[in-house]
Amino acid sequence: MTTASLSEWQTRILLAEGLEGWTVRDSPDGYCWKGRKLLDVIPGDAALFLHEVAHALVPILHQGDQHHGWWGNTYTRLVRQYMRSM
Ligand SMILES: [Zn+2]
């Protein structure tokens, strides 16, 4: 997948998931900045992008436990829904 088509794929998912106004930034590591509506992702890492989208969609229930069941179910849904369309 080219960088341009990966970017289009990311934009399509953000809109489909109701994350209008969020931006994706190339970074050496992944992070979801909820307050800034910003996703840091490693370039070309589609699975990491979906990982951070899942963080954007579900709340942090307890500090230090961001990968709870709700997040996991959301991440699994995103992978099933979007990885096959790449
Ligand atoms: Zn995470």
- Report CA(52)–ligand 1 centroid distance (Å): 6
Answering whether pTM is above 0.85, one says yes
Residue position matching structure tokens 């509506």 = 37
Pairwise CA distance, residues 16 & 18, whole Å: 6
DSSP 25-43: EE-SS-EEETTTTEEEE-T
Along the 86 residues of the chain, how does pLDDT read in single tens digits?
777 788 999 999 999 999 999 999 999 999 999 999 999 999 999 999 999 999 999 998 888 889 999 999 999 999 999 998 66
- Report CA(82)–ligand 1 centroid distance (Å): 18
Beta-ladder partners of 45: none
Contact 19, 56 (CB under 8 A): yes
- Report CA(17)–ligand 1 centroid distance (Å): 18
Instruction: Indicate the fold that domain 3-85 takes in CATH.
Output: Zincin-like (3.30.2010)
